[in-house]
Chains A and B, each alone.
Chain A
Amino acid sequence: MKHDESVYWRSLEQLAATEEFRAFVEDEFPNRTPDWNDPESRRAFLGVMGASILLVGASACTRQPKELIVPYVRQPEEVIPGKPLFYATAMSVAGIGTGVLVESHLERPTKIEGNPEHPASLGATDAAMQASVLTLYDPDRSQTVTRNGNISGWGSFIAALTAARDAAQPKKGAGIRILTGTVTSPTLAAQIQDFRSAFPQAKWHQYDPCGRHSARAGAVTAFGRPLNTIYRFDRADVIVSLDADFLCSTVPGSLRYSRDYSARRRIAAENRSVSPRRLYIAENAPSVTGSMADHHFRMTAGGVAGFAEDIARGDAGATSAEVRAVVKDLQAHRGAGIVMAGEYQPPHVHAFVHTINQSLGNTGKTVIYTDPVEANPVDEIASIAELVKDMRTGAVETLLILGGNPVYDAPADLNFLDALKKVKLRAHLGLYLNETAAWCHWHIPEAHYLESWGDARAYDGTASIVQPLIMPLYGGKTLVPLRGGVTWPSVNSIQGLDQFKFESGKPRPYLSIHRIF
């Protein structure tokens, strides 16, 4: 068959048109078990099935096996067998925390729901938060300290790090690098700062693959410094989303935004004098927010920038009926409109959006600016690029990767792995033995957030305490230490709960504090 330009293909296999693929397509039931049509085995299968159905009743012919009741030796306070307790903690995604209430049966966390009193949750959760309790019990989590893939010990790791620290001491820490995800935790940030004041030449890099890189860069373009933007959907009448899927959990604060957005829709459904908020969206792929929009403008991802520019120019930019309508509506609701840009749009679109909101008087009313949520906001793409450059020149001797998986998810053109191989001492802290762990000398199992002390800031800056519900199942270490004092973050900030000196005879004192009801 001749391929002319107008022929579309749906997969590479179709384009290659191999013999196997043709056979695969022509077969009515590909992927079936081959012996399904074999009369012999089919008959045997039905025979066995029939017999097992007949024998199902026989399974009831048994005595109940012996069952034990194992009471406490000393019953902890407030624990009533058969009744769950609820603990308030916070889960972070890309550094941004959301308050949750965790149900706990006999000191085992079982279910996660939103904390109704936390401004980022209001009692709601997203799928990842619901699923995170399964990560806690995941038997595939890394379970031990490894060195070059072999089981090792925490003590040996500390010895190796101490040697590296002492070697870097005369150079004021030059050659030591720490790579974390986006850090909003005030405690962790303070500890890293402590370390850096003792070792001024050491550097701290941050990189999160799903971070808010464009939003951060857009704020720098518009205001000259990074700022955090909070949207008040409860005060907005007209919303223009430029590829921003703010009802889906890809946007920090989306749980709160969804509540605020939908609140008046519910009232409007019953009361005709209340008009629901009007939502315009310009996007290139269907999204949750797009499906809720009153007016949906389909355009290429690159076309959104031009659309934003047209809106920014106001009447003069009203080249099309759509833009004219949007601009008219926004101007009719000055101070009660929101224009927001999505993370997939480049920084200059974010900068446009800040200008538009400013000129429409939305700033301070529906669009609030605050200091950054991040403890140390940096351009994360530049940060990891700098790290890769230094690793390549051999300037990095010790690299501590605290969480994350940069070998897998760092920008591909940086070729992170090639540069990483030049570092003399590489250590990785993580929940899983992932690609990064495989290329590091040391791997330390990380404690799940339900096993850790810590803190995080929410999308609006609310500081939220992370408290453990259970001792680390696999001896995991937390990012945030429990006691300061040591000026070495690897000793200090990865220290686990097992380092914490409990009062003797009271193994879990934290269970009765920070409890909200």
Chain B
Amino acid sequence: MAQIFHRSANSLAKVSIVAVLLLLGGTVWAAYKINAGTFITDVNVARAQPVPFSHKHHVGDDGIDCRYCHTSVETSSFAGLPPTETCMSCHSQIWANAEVLEPVRASFRTGKSLEWTRVHDLPDFVYFNHSIHVNKGIGCSTCHGRIDRMPLTYKVNTLYMQWCVECHRNPAQYVRPRDQVFNIAYQYPDNQSELGERLVREYKIQSLTDCVTCHR
């Protein structure tokens, strides 16, 4: 009786096992790369806005404090976006006729809000509170990066859970003195591990890694 399989079937079988393993591994690797990549995370991608608002100009050049516009960052979960009135408090005087600011003036005239595109967009099943972080010595630039160098706003971190948890497991590596929270150019000192440990004790910072801390 003739053999059912040809001799070459042996090597074919071996090759196909290796090929399948490689394909599976490659798929997982590709999925991981895509997920961590710019296409999904939007890290370093500036979003189009109705007005090309420049943090570089307002924070870097003019030195306006974060809280001038993000008024509720110290008291509320939401940092707050300025009402049109806040923009107009200056721009009724300076650049009052600039073409680029027409949407702001239109909003003020008509009473219709400006619609900004959210840059830092957490999924809706995640709870985040700005005020607790700010009050416990986590600086703006720790998460938002050098916003004073961004002509258009983009995010510098993925806001993935592993990124959040990295700090929640060991807050000492990122905490800074409270009076430096809004210092956008803050540099961590060489003795950060020492200083961080001290501030964690002083500010009574807990390492909150329970699921319900954020997924409530």
Interface residues, chain A, with chain B CB atoms under 8 Å away: 63-64, 66-75, 80-83
Contact = CB atoms under 8 A, between A and B. Distances in A.
Given A67-B118, A80-B76, A81-B76, A73 B113 contact: yes
A345 B75 CA distance: 55
B81 A82 contact: no
A68 B117 contact: yes
Contacts of B78: 81-82
Given A67-B118, A68-B115, A68-B118, A73 B76 contact: no
Contacts of A81: 72, 76, 78, 80
Between A68, A69, A70, A83, the greatest number of chain B beta carbons within 10 A of the residue's beta carbon is seen for A69
Contacts of A68: 115-118
Contacts of A72: 83-85, 113
Contacts of B107: 73
A63 B40 contact: yes
Q: Is the interface of B mostly helix, strand, loop or mixed?
A: loop
B126 to A, nearest CB: 11
Contacts of B25: none
7 contacts: A68-B116, A69-B116, A71-B81, A71-B82, A71-B116, A73-B111, A83-B72
Contacts of B75: 80, 83
Interface string B112-132: 111111100101000000000
B214 to A, nearest CB: 16
A176 B118 CA distance: 59
A63 B38 CA distance: 11
Instruction: Give the contact-size bracket for chain B.
Output: 20 to 34
Given A83-B72, A83-B76, A73 B117 contact: no
Interface in B87-102: none
Interface string B52-92: 00000000000000000001100111101111110000000
B111 A66 contact: no
Between A70, A73, A74, A80, the greatest number of chain B beta carbons within 10 A of the residue's beta carbon is seen for A73
A82 B74 CA distance: 12
B39 interface: yes
A71 B83 contact: yes
A73 B72 contact: no
A73 B117 CA distance: 16
Nearest to A65: B121
Contact of A75 (B85, B108, B115, B118): B85
B72 A82 contact: yes
A157 to B, nearest CB: 30
A62 to B, nearest CB: 9
A416 to B, nearest CB: 48
B123 A73 contact: no
Nearest to B116: A69
B80 A73 contact: no
B25 to A, nearest CB: 18
A75 B40 CA distance: 34
Nearest to A73: B84
Contacts of B80: 71, 80-82
Nearest to A71: B81
Contacts of B84: 71-74
Between A64, A71, A80, A81, the greatest number of chain B beta carbons within 10 A of the residue's beta carbon is seen for A71
A63 B121 CA distance: 11
Contacts of B111: 73
B187 to A, nearest CB: 31
A58 to B, nearest CB: 11
B83 A82 contact: no
A63 to B, nearest CB: 6
A418 B115 CA distance: 57
